[in-house]
Structure 1
């Protein structure tokens, strides 16, 4: 994890890659719990037997499960000291170029693409790319918006 001593130090990284999170495995239990939480029980996610004959040969993670991991990856990639608070304020753009098969390992990589003043504090746009180990295409690319208050 990369630690920044201030927002000014973080802002100086605009246009730069910030690093990667550790790899983590996507389990069927995690997929099933996400299905319960979101009431999305489509067989391609929760029925391993039926999914064997499906387009991916196994179950796959929900796209929104993959997206939700971005929130876990960001503090594993970087941290900004001295903040009063940091708030997730949304997303600009999200794409799911490739599926995440059960048992796959994923990680997030982050790039600071914008940093600007806002009436409530400083607003950053960080592009997080969720990679799947051994795959050419990422599972998710999301532009996250965060508000920071010193």
Structure 2
């Protein structure tokens, strides 16, 4: 997949896998930093000894929302940039499921399939992606989501045929 595309090319990518990100290691330091930022210090995330003894996971796991928050990084890593874009906006999720826990030390990556492109108004384009966050050497993904983003652009750059 090219690193950069035009607005006019975007609708032609619907139905295609548009990117697979690099692996990201979810280590205990990242989990602890997220716990600190969100004030979520539940032991299954922040206390390796207790999590090993008292949880079914054999140690600490990442917060589900930590995994969700890394979608932007994964997207930037692998989804083609639209040349005419002046700003990108996270619009939200139609669906989001946290399927499997991500254990401390595991590596994850995102797989993005463009499922819809809809031009709105003179200077906005809504994109919808089916996203799967895979856990290395695991059969089940960490999460699946239907994610919507908005591409803003200068109205003069709007393709004529949309």
Scaled to the shorter chain, the TM-score interval is over 0.9
Q: 2:160 aligns to what? A: none
> 1: distance between equivalents of 2:87 and 2:43?
40
TM-score by length of 1: 0.95
- Is 1:135 aligned with 2:138? yes
Q: Select between 97-106 and 75-84 the one with higher mean Cα deviation.
A: 75-84
CA contact (8 A) 1:105 1:132 kept: yes
How do 1:28-39 and structure 2 match up within 5 A? Answer: 28-39=28-39
Give ranges in structure 1 of 5+ residues lacking alignment. Answer: none
Count of aligned residue pairs for this structure pair: 150
Q: CA deviation at 1:5?
A: 2.4
Q: CA deviation at 1:125?
A: 0.5
The 4+ residue runs of structure 1 with deviation greater than 3 A are none
> 2: distance between equivalents of 1:32 and 1:82?
38
Q: 2:115 aligns to what? A: 113
Larger Rg: 2
TM-score by length of 2: 0.88
Give ranges in structure 2 of 5+ residues lacking alignment. Answer: 154-162
